[in-house]
Chains A and B, each alone.
Chain A
Amino acid sequence: MSSPIIELKHVYRSFKTGREIVPVLQDINISVNRLEFLCLVGESGCGKTTTGKIICGLLPTSQGIVEFEGADIASLRGDNQRRFRRSVQIIHQDPYASLNPTQTVSEMLSYPLIRHKLAPHRRGVLQRVRELLDLVDLTPVEDFIDKYPHQLSGGQRQRISIARALTTEPSVIVADESVSMVDVSIRIGLLQMMMDLRDRLDVTIVFITHDLALAKYFAWDGRIGVMYLGRLVEIGRTQQIIRDPQHPYTKVLLSAIPDPDPEKTRSKQHIQLRSEDIRRLTELPPGCSFHPRCPWYVDGVCDKEVPELSVPFQSEFDVEVACIPLERGAELALHDA
């Protein structure tokens, strides 16, 4: 495998709100390999968006480093910094909020081209804008080029967001819940287009979502990382995680999600949590942050030590899990519900 294009090493991030300091990310280690499909999944508040912003350099880390092609992005200056900024782009969740309502499509897409001097002259800029619209299947181009965002549907707006991210010919795109706001019937089309762009333009896409089924579809040949309360709790091959999740949280999640199949979903066994309360980030329990809810909790272990990502004891699988009983090779035994 080639060297990772992005690497997060022991990344911490906290935010100050009034008197409190909220630890949003703790000890995140992720390597994003060139051209792989990587999905980060987790529930709201798990830190997946913060991770995405840190990857793009939109947020500095509180501790730890982010490397782009082997170089610490915090130390980049001048041309190197500009090259990093161009190379890593983000697509935001809400296409209604992320496009400037006073600019036409053509203005929005020209600006980065002019700013980064990516097209030689006015005609060149326009030519490139047309190519970009063509890439995201907004054709005939004439129908879209002079439109304002309010004249476009949600799906079309999101295509504009994607086109805008592509203006700088990035090598990495972070797609943060990029299809969550569009309707079911057009969601897959957008996703397929993004998967296609990877092959045509050699972009690595980090896809962030709360929807495990969507993550499975997108990263079928890639990897999924599952986050819980600011930590990565499991990461590995998508097919492996969907078939046989290892971390208790991933197991619980997969068992809880309804299926679009009446017989299957009604006969599904749901794993009961010990408690339904989600801890606030400012009141994290000692030890593993999932232990107050974990049905496999081991007294005296899980509430004392903080687990780190590691390959489970004697595992033949290509996954890493942050769970001390698993690390030690324990068979998970359910507490009586």
Chain B
Amino acid sequence: MSQNLPPDVVLKVDDLSVVYRTDRGDVKATANVSFELRNGEALALIGESGSGKTTISLALIRKLPRNAVITSGQILYQRNQEVQDVLKLSNRQLREFRWNECAMVFQGAQNAFNPVLNIRKQFEDTAQAHGWTDKAAVRKRALSLLQLVRLDPERVYDAYPHELSGCMKQRTLLALGVLLSPQIVILDEPTTALDILTQRAIIDVLNDMQRQLDFSIIFISHDLSLAAELADHVATVYAGEIIELGGVNDIFYRSLHPYTHGLLTSVPTLDHAQDLLQSIPGSPPNLITPPEGCKFHPRCAFADDICRKENPALTDDVGAHLAACWHKDRLLESRKARA
């Protein structure tokens, strides 16, 4: 292999673009996306519905719908200093890659289990499909994982899905996700549609799991609070592009992109003071005919001629904190003026 990755990088996505072919035209769902995922880190992809965050994650495990075409890019995956391009894997290699190397926990745990099989059978089937046939060993591993997600392992292992509550199913699903010790776990909206107290339980379990098992997380969410709580790095996705990427504190306290900033000022908090909120005017663009230049410019207060003509690249003027905006200095200045 010609590619070399730093030893702690498990995944490097480079210039990834995905297009959905539809009757109405090509939907540019993901455009020139690049990012790295390090060992043991949690990366949050935040964005609104239709921003392309799920498309990015489906591309990572090559589970895109049939009408999707990957038009550019590479996805480099590293284990034990061996690097492979996920986009070049054969079908057989892909089957190995999925779940063994990179597992995905989909949104809506209610529907993820087969209702006519008990949990034990679903753990065993998963293991067997990946060449692990020793049922006693599977059981041992499964029970320890169910314990880790704070369930009563013996009871849950022999239960049918309908016997478990939504929270228990979600936790069982997390345990199943890491059954084969993948290096990467992708979580799609892991707490959406769950009750507040259930969300808290899931967040606590995820924190525990990450502390005790060695894996990296990519999680997709529209919930900024969840990113604040769980992520090490945050990528803001807008109209199919990563428009800002940085450490969680960089993003939340020193955002450089007007869209990220706008999202942050439109989320109510539980502070004891009154929130002064402002929503972003307009609505996200149509991705069949996205606007020219910066895709955010029709909604942006700073937009001028260059924004309307040229799309800014994701660049790093400030350390490892990247933003795709022609006017990064504007937010910096306004922050300085306030300080």
Residues of A within 8 A of B (CB): 43-44, 153, 155-156, 183-190, 192, 210-214, 216-217, 220, 239, 242-243, 252-254, 256-263, 265-266, 270, 273, 276-278
Contact = CB atoms under 8 A, between A and B. Distances in A.
B163 to A, nearest CB: 12
B203 A185 contact: no
Contacts of B270: 212-213, 216, 242, 254, 257, 259
Contact of A256 (B200, B253, B283): B200
11 contacts: A155-B283, A156-B283, A183-B49, A184-B263, A192-B279, A212-B270, A256-B199, A260-B269, A262-B253, A266-B228, A270-B204
B128 interface: no
A258 B279 contact: no
A260 B223 CA distance: 8
B111 interface: no
A253 B197 contact: yes
Given A155-B283, A265-B228, A277-B165, A260 B197 contact: no
A109 B146 CA distance: 53
Given A216-B269, A254-B270, 7 more contacts: A153-B283, A185-B262, A243-B272, A256-B196, A256-B200, A260-B252, A260-B264
Contacts of A44: 195
A270 B200 contact: yes
A210 to B, nearest CB: 7
Most chain B Cβ neighbours within 10 Å, of A187, A263, A273, A276: A276
B280 interface: yes
Most chain A Cβ neighbours within 10 Å, of B204, B262, B264, B268: B268
Interface residues of B, number: 43
Interface of B: 48-49, 165, 167, 195-201, 203-204, 222-226, 228-229, 248-249, 252-253, 262-264, 266-272, 274-275, 277-281, 283-284
A327 B277 CA distance: 37
A335 B270 CA distance: 26
A275 B223 CA distance: 26
Contact of A185 (B201, B204, B279): B279
B197 A185 contact: no
Contacts of B226: 258
Contacts of A153: 283
A289 B280 CA distance: 42
B268 A189 contact: no
B141 to A, nearest CB: 24
Contacts of B201: 276
A213 B269 contact: yes
